[in-house]
Structure formats: C-alpha cells, structure tokens
Amino acid sequence: MNHACCMYSTTSPYRIITVCTGNICRSPMAALMLTEAFEAEGLGRLVVVDSAGTTGYEVGHPIDPRAARVLTAQHLTSEDHVAREWRREWYAERDLILALDVDHFGWLQEGAPDHSSLEKVRMLRSFDPHMAGRSSLDLGIEDPWYGGHADFDNTWTLIKAAIPGIVQYVKAAISSAQSAAGQDHQQVTSMT
C-alpha cells in the first residue's frame, strides 16, 4: 500500500486529512499534532494537514473541551477548529487519508471512487511501529467522547506513537516526488 507516495507531485503541498466521526475529538487532535510535527521538521510549507468527520452531527462546533485541554497541556492551540463533514472530492484532493478508527476506515474505503483513492486510505495507527503486522481491526482509537480525561490522554498517546512513522512516510513521498521532478527537468534540459 505504499503506492500513495508515488502519486504525489511537487507542484502543490502534500495534503493529509485525518478522519473520525464528528470531527471534534480524535481527528482535530491528530491534525494539530501532525501539523506541529511537520513544522518541527521544517516541512510546514510542504505539508498541509486538516481533518473532517464521517457525519454531520457536530458540523460548526468547536473542538471538545477535553481534547482542547490535552492539546493546551502540550502547547497546541485548537480554538480555531470548526468541525466539518467529509466531502467526496477530498479523495482526489488529498494525498493521504488517515482513519482514526476501524469504522472510519471501512467507511472511507467503501466510499472511495477508484483504486488510487482507495490506496490513500490508511489507519493512522498503521504507522506506529509497535503495531506493525497487526490487523486493521486492532488499530482503532476508540472515541474518547464517551469517557473522561484519561480517555483523551490515551487518545493523545496513541496518536503520538504513530506520528514519527507518518512523518517518515511523507518525507519519503516528498523526496521521491522531488527526485522524479528533477529527472523530468534533466530530461527536458537534455532534449533542448
């Protein structure tokens, strides 16, 4: 499933979207954490991360205050977040689509309009090296909305474990696209 890296082109930022149910807990946490990780790697201008929900239940609402608490404790601001629902055209407009739980993964796979869109859909925790080789059924992050502060802390921990793998994956995709662009440029230059 590493083919998604090969479809990316250097003419626009590498685009990632994180997806959960209502877009007020898990997916905005993941998007903000990933944005910070790419900034820390000096890739802030090359990678854009956003988030959405599979449902319209929470559209227009801010992030859950318990998720905001966890993010604030880690010096990440979330007050600008406004929940939104997944749109079908994002299959084409995103390079990597990260599902936070098994039901989101199945829903995104089922809705994929073509094979290349399907290949972009991954479980976020599939990038956690400790989860290597595990079934996608083992990779879900349960909805902390029904729980308490400890559940949101656990969500943070599970997302954080996958971030280095996602960063490495995206770095490889960008590097591959830049190499391909360089080869294309060399071929054009040698023809003139």
Catalytic residue flag (residue 20): yes
Residue pair 15/31 in contact (Cβ under 8 Å)? The answer is: no
Q: Which residue has the tokens 């599970």?
A: 158
Q: How far apart are the first and last CA of the chain?
A: 37
Q: Which residue has the tokens 């626009």?
A: 12
Which residues, given as ranges, of the chain have pLDDT below 70? 1-10, 184-192
H/E element, 47: strand 47-53
Q: pLDDT per residue over 151-180, tens digit each?
A: 999 999 999 999 999 999 999 999 999 888
Catalytic residue flag (residue 134): no
pLDDT of residue 181: 85
Q: pLDDT per residue over 18-32, tens digit each?
A: 999 999 999 999 999
Average pLDDT of the chain is 92
* Burial letters 28-55, b for 16+ CB under 10 A, else e: bbbbbbbbbbbeeeebeebbbbbbbbbe
Residue from 15, 84, 103, 143 carrying the catalytic annotation? 143
- CA 140 – CA 73 distance, rounded (Å): 24
Q: Which residue has the tokens 């201008």?
A: 45
Helix ranges, 45-148 (H): 65-73, 90-93, 102-111, 115-120
Residue from 26, 66, 94, 125 carrying the catalytic annotation? 26
Instruction: Give the number of other CB atoms < 10 A from CB of residue 168.
Output: 13
Catalytic residue flag (residue 26): yes
pLDDT of residue 182: 81
